[in-house]
Amino acid sequence: MTARAVVVAHPADLDAAAVRAVAAGATVELDDGLAGRLGATRAEVLAALDGGVPAYGVSTGMGALSDVALAETDRGDHSARLMLARAVGGPPYLDGTETRALLAVRLRTFLAGDAGVSAELCAWLAGLLASDALPAVPRTGSGAAGEIIPLSHAFGHLAGVGRWLTHAPPEAPGPLGPKEGLSLLQGTPVAAALALLRADDVRRLETLWLTTAAAEVGLVGASRDPYRPALARGDDVLAGVLADLAAALPGVTDDAPVRRLQAPVSFRVVGHVHAHLRRAVAALDGAVDRVLDGVGDSPAWLPGGSEGEEDDQDYQGGVFVGTAGFHGLELAAGADTLRVALAHAATVGAARLHRMLDPRTSGLPAQLSADPGPHGGLVAVHKRAVAAVHAVSGWSATPLGAAETSGGQEDVQTFALEALERLRLTVAAAHEVVACELLAVHQARLLAPHLLAEAPAPLAGLLDRLAALLPASTLDRPWGEDLQTLLEAALTAPAVGPDE
C-alpha cells in the first residue's frame, strides 16, 4: 500500500484521477471545511425529517412497499434493516482494487450533500480505505433497477452482517442514522468504479497493441500507405493513432522492402480499429465523470435556493426529490460499446497473427517454424487466439432489460454490472490475443532479425522486453508457458487517465 493521501477539500478533488489513485492504494483525507459543510447539510435533513416531511425509504417502505408508512418505532433501525434481506449475492467477489474504487466512488457521491448523510459516515468510508478493510462485494447476480444487491453486501457490516475480502475494521461505527442506510444503496457507484477501471485496462492494452501491430507491419513488409497522416482528415482521434503508429513503425530497408501494394485487411485497418477503441474508451470515461458529478441519490436532498430551481415558497426550506440516478444506462451502453470495439480489435489481431504464419503474406517460414514439417511452429498459438475471440464474440451489444421485479415497481433494468462483467472478460480475452501476437513477433524476429533492425524507441523497448522474458530458441516447445509468462509480465504501461 502506498502512503500517498488524496486531500479532499471540495467534492471535485475526488475526481476520476483521484479514484484511480485510491484504487491503487492511496488514502483519502477529508478537509475540515468539507466535513463542516456536510454536517450543516445533515442538520437540515434531520430537521426536515423531524418536522414530518415525507421521504421515500425513510418514512416509508421501499419499492412496491413505498405506500406503507413506517411507524416511528420502525424508523430507528430502518437504515440497518435495509441491508439484510437485500444481501442475496455471493462469490465471485470483486477484487481488492475494484472494491477500493467502489468505496472511493461511494464516498465521492456523498460529498456533494445530495445524500444528506453525516460527515461521520463519510469519515468511516475514508477509514475503511485507510485500513484497507474491504468488504466482500458480489461481482454478478444484480437483477435490480439499481445496485441494491452488491451495495447491501458492501455496507452490510454497518448492520452487523457481511463478509470481508481482507479484514474487518478495528471497531464498528455507531448506528446508521435516518436515511443513511437508504443512501448507501442508491446510485451506480459499483458500475462507475468498474467502468473507470476497465477503461484504464483498455487504454493500457491499446498502447501495447498498437506497438505490436507496428512490429507486425514491419515483419510482413506491409505497405505504409494506409497509415499516411493525410488520410486522417477531419478526424483528430485517427490522426493521433496514426502519429503513434508512425512513431513505432520500423524503417523499410533495402533488404526488407514492402512486399505487396496492398496488405491484407487486418493490416490496413490498424488505424481505424485503434481510433474506434480510443473513442469508445473516451465515451466510457465521460459516463464515469457524469456519475461522479451527478445526482445519484433518491430521494436527493435539494436545499432551499438550489441552482436551477424555482424560487417558490414551498422550496425555500429544502425538499426531498425522487431521482433516476440509479439508472446506469450510459454506463451499460458505454461498456457494451467498448466491449464490441475490443472484441473486433481482437478479431483483427487474430487475423494478423494468421497472416504472420502464412509465408505467402509474410515471406517467413511457414507457421513461423524453425524447420517447417519436423517442427510445427506457432500454428496452435493461433488456435488459442481464435478460441479467445470466440469466447467473447457472441454477446448482445444492446443493454436491454424489460424484466419486472419488485412487484412491478422496477419494470426495466439496464444490467450495467453484467455489461461490465462481459467487458472484463473481453479484456482478458484480448490480452490473450495480444500475448499470442507478441510471441509471434518474438519468434519472427529470431527467424529474420534484419526485418526489425531499425526499430524506433517504442518498438525497440518492447522487443527488448520480449527478449528478456522469452527463450532465444526458435525450436518447438510448450508455447503455453511462454504465453503465461507474457500474460503475467504486465507489459502494458502504467495506468493513466485521459488527461494525465
- Specify the CATH number for the domain of residue 143: 1.10.275.10
How far apart are alpha carbons 188 and 147 in whole angstroms?
6
Hey, which residues does 29 pair with through a beta bridge? 7
The C-alpha cell that represents 485 in the structure block: 509468462
Residues 6+ apart with CB under 8 A from 142: 89, 149, 150, 190, 415, 417, 418
Distance, CA of 195 to CA of 101 (rounded, Å): 10
In this structure, the answer to whether residues 239 and 159 fall within a common structural domain is no
Domain boundary among 186, 216, 237: 186
d(CA 227, CA 1): 43
CA angle at 185 for the pair 44 and 497, rounded to the nearest 5°: 100
Backbone angles phi, psi at 234, to 5 degrees: 80, 5
Instruction: Identify whether residues 168 and 246 lie together within a single domain.
Output: no
Which stretches of 37-95 are assigned E, i.e. beta strand?
none
Quickly count: other Cβ atoms within 10 Å of residue 106's Cβ: 25
Assigned domain for 494 exists: no
Which phi and psi angles does 303 have, rounded to 5°? -70, 160
- pLDDT of 413: 85
Same domain, residue pair 199 and 223: yes
Q: Greatest CA separation found in the chain?
A: 88
The answer on 251 and 213 residing in a single domain is yes
Helical spans, DSSP H, in 357-415: 359-362, 379-392
Residues 266 and 165 in one domain: no
Q: What is the pLDDT of residue 1?
A: 44
Residues 316 and 246 placed together within one structural domain of the fold: yes
The answer to whether residues 410 and 431 belong to one domain is: yes
Judgement on whether residues 181 and 230 belong to the same structural domain of the protein = no
Same domain, yes or no, for 149 and 212? no
Asked whether residue 498 is assigned to any structural domain, the reply reads no
Q: Are 332 and 191 within 8 A, CB to CB?
A: yes
Say how many domains are in the chain.
Answer: 2
The partner residues of 7 in beta bridges, in order of sequence, read 29
- Domain for residue 493, yes or no? no
Domain boundary among 137, 160, 186: 186
Position 496 in a domain: no
Domain annotation covers residue 495: no
pTM: 0.94
In a domain, 398, yes or no: yes
- From first CA to last CA, the distance across the chain in angstroms is 22
Task: List for the chain the helix, strand, coil content (%; round to 5).
Answer: 55, 5, 40
Here the CATH number for the domain that contains residue 413 is 1.20.200.10
Q: How far apart are CA 377 and CA 372, in angstroms?
A: 7
The per-residue pLDDT for 309 is 57
Choosing from 153, 186, 219, the residue where a domain stops is: 186
**Residues 165 and 283 reside in one and the same domain:** no
Does one domain contain both 48 and 129?
yes
In a domain, 80, yes or no: yes
Q: Of 336, 329, 332, which is closest to residue 396 (Cα–Cα)? A: 336
Provide the domain limits for residue 359. 195-295+302-488
Chunked in runs of 10, what are the mean pLDDT values of the chain (500 residues)? Answer: 82 98 97 96 92 83 80 78 88 97 98 95 96 95 89 92 89 85 95 98 96 96 93 97 95 69 94 98 98 95 69 63 93 95 97 97 95 96 97 73 75 89 96 98 96 92 96 97 93 60
With the CA atoms of 330, 336, 341 and 344 taken in that order, what torsion angle do they form, in degrees rounded to the nearest 10? -170
Q: How far apart are CA 409 and CA 238, in angstroms?
A: 45
Q: Which of 34, 16, 74, 472 is nearest to 284 (CA)?
A: 16
Look at the block and give the residue holding cell 519472427: 444
211 & 94 share domain: no
Amino acid at 197: L
Q: Is residue 325 part of a domain?
A: yes
